[in-house]
């Protein structure tokens, strides 16, 4: 496999990794927002629930148990939100690394293209020079009042 094909394959792999990492980051952000919304709703629900002024002991205990469950739900959602934020941070770091890797591979591809273009230019220049040398050589070899030198006596 040629270097060009290897770089092209590597670029496709790195682009795919970057896209997957970006998708994962998006998924984690959506989950984080969903958890944040649920936490906000649970806090609002907790704030709106009030203890009855007059109630039977059983009704009062039922309301207290309900509020405890709501408080536990808020705590659980806060913990889940912390976890989601950590997942978003990790996914963001993964995406950044994949993006940097893709960018570095793009630079390699560009350098390879420039190198191949420079090599083509060198070859073309060499061929032009060779053609000039051949043309100049045929001109200097052309007969111009051919003179023979006789050597010896």
Total number of domains constituting the chain: 1
Q: Is residue 144 part of a domain?
A: no
Q: Is residue 24 part of a domain?
A: yes
| Mean pLDDT, rounded, for 139-153 | 54
In this predicted model, what pLDDT tens digit does every residue of 86-99 receive, in sequence order?
Answer: 999 999 999 999 99
Q: Is residue 36 part of a domain?
A: yes
In this predicted model, what pLDDT tens digit does every residue of 83-134 receive, in sequence order?
Answer: 999 999 999 999 999 999 999 999 999 999 999 999 999 999 999 998 988 8
Q: Which domain holds residue 18?
A: 3-136
Q: Is residue 146 part of a domain?
A: no
pLDDT at 100: 96
Q: Place 142 in a pLDDT band, splitting at 50, 70 and 90.
A: low
- On average, the pLDDT of the chain sits at 89
Tell me, what CATH number does 46's domain have? Answer: 1.10.287
What the block records as the tokens of 42 is: 């649970």
| Cα(121)–Cα(98) distance, integer angstroms | 34
In this predicted model, what pLDDT tens digit does every residue of 1-45 receive, in sequence order?
Answer: 687 889 899 999 999 999 999 999 999 999 999 999 999 999 999
Q: Is residue 29 part of a domain?
A: yes
To the nearest whole percent, how much of the chain has pLDDT over 70? 90
Q: Is residue 153 part of a domain?
A: no
Is the pLDDT reported for residue 153 higher than 50?
A: no
Q: Is residue 26 part of a domain?
A: yes
Q: Is residue 145 part of a domain?
A: no
């Amino acid at each position: 496999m040629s270097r060009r094909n290897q770089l092209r394959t590597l670029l496709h792999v790195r682009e795919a990794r970057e896209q997957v990492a970006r998708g994962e980051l998006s998924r984690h952000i959506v989950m984080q927002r969903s958890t944040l919304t649920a936490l906000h709703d649970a806090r609002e629900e907790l704030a709106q629930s009030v203890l009855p002024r007059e109630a039977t002991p059983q009704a009062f205990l039922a309301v207290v148990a309900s509020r405890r469950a709501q408080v536990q739900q808020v705590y659980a959602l806060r913990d889940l939100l912390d976890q989601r934020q950590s997942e978003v941070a990790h996914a963001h770091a993964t995406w950044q690394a994949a993006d940097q890797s893709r960018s570095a591979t793009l630079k390699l591809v560009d350098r390879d293209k420039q190198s191949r273009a420079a090599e083509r230019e060198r070859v073309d220049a060499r061929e032009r020079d060779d053609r000039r040398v051949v043309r100049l050589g045929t001109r200097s070899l052309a007969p111009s009042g051919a003179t023979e030198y006789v050597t010896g006596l």
